[in-house]
Amino acid sequence: MRPTFDMDALRTMCVGTELGSFARAAAQLGRSQSAISMQLKKLEEQAGKTLFRRNGRGLTPTEAGDALLAYARRIISLNDEAAVSLGATADAAAVRVGLPQDFFEDVMPGALLQFSRERPGVHIEVRAGRNYALDEEVRAGRLDLALAFCPADGEANGTRIASLPMVWLAGKRFAELMPNGPLPLVLFDHPCLFRQACLQVLERKRVKWRLALTTPSLPGVWATLRSTPTVTLRTAHRVPSGIQEVGSKLDLPRAPKIELRLLTADQLSPAASAFRDILQQQIISGLGNSTGR
């Protein structure tokens, strides 16, 4: 009897290869690394061939692995196409997604493009929002999933994507022209994790500061930094042109890290689950690219 390949194991194989790490695949799929290893071993037993070879700390596909990977992508695509066709009623509802403004322009286009190819006809409802609001919306069932910043030292829900350093930023032309006196800040209005962290670290180090401007808009923060001698605290992810890190130049205290997490509702539709996986893959890829710039 010919073997029947396990669909979940094939998905794991595809995700791990695309991410370049089965440790990342374990995090994305919400499974332990031992469970991932068992799935890969099961595939090798079913195929009767070695599918991966160890390369340093990672695994790379063998010739047989590459061949199965090509089939796996086709099998998964056909499976999902059939699921959409036969389960249109369950999959037709909108997938409701929330995320902070930091990731609105770089992560969503790629995720939406990939999802529209895999599941045409499914509506995506995207909302940009504050971290505290996104968490509440997911808990209340008004969002299926959300990307949100969370304190690195506190209790948090969801899947941890990354731990990102917070950095001091200012307009390039003002980096060495800050006025004497209290540090002029441009921050989000309350409540905001970055605002809270900024003021706490300055108070702890007894650095005098003043609020030059508060805004609910990230583009408003960037515009203010470019046009006035002000400073803010954010991550270094996708910092726009004309703005640079100034912590060392201005002798500002080191800020803590902040966690990026993917929050999900208790029950997800097949479409929402598929978009979650795509979004997480896009986020990890985007963070890697921005780190390597």
**Residue type at 212?**
A
In CATH terms, the fold of domain 94-162+259-289 is: D-Maltodextrin-Binding Protein; domain 2 (3.40.190)
The answer to whether the beta carbons of residues 138 and 98 sit under 8 Å apart is: yes
The answer to whether the predicted template modeling score (pTM) of the entire model surpasses 0.85 is no
Instruction: Specify the pLDDT at position 209.
Output: 95
Contacts (Cβ under 8 Å, ≥6 apart) of 86: none
d(CA 284, CA 20): 11
The answer to whether the beta carbons of residues 160 and 261 sit under 8 Å apart is: yes
Q: Which CATH number applies to 164-257?
A: 3.40.190.10
**In the numeric block, which tokens belong to residue 107?**
């992560």
Q: Interior CA angle at 27 toward 26 and 28, to 5°?
A: 95
Each residue's pLDDT expressed in tens, for the chain with a length of 293 residues: 677 888 888 888 887 887 677 877 776 666 778 888 888 988 998 889 999 888 766 778 888 988 998 898 888 878 766 765 665 444 445 788 998 888 777 778 888 888 888 887 788 888 877 887 888 888 888 889 999 998 887 666 788 888 899 999 999 988 777 878 999 999 998 888 999 999 999 999 999 999 999 988 888 899 999 999 999 999 988 888 999 999 999 999 999 999 999 999 888 888 899 999 999 888 887 776 554 43
Mark residue 3 as left, alpha or beta (left: phi above 0; alpha: psi -120 to 50; beta: remaining): beta
**Residue type at 210?**
R
Answer yes or no: CATH 2.30.110.10 is held by domain 7-86.
no
Residues of the chain with CATH 3.40.190.10: 94-162+259-289, 164-257
The answer to whether the beta carbons of residues 176 and 253 sit under 8 Å apart is: no
Residues of the chain with CATH 1.10.10.10: 7-86
Q: How many other C-beta atoms can be found within 10 angstroms of the C-beta atom of residue 282?
A: 21
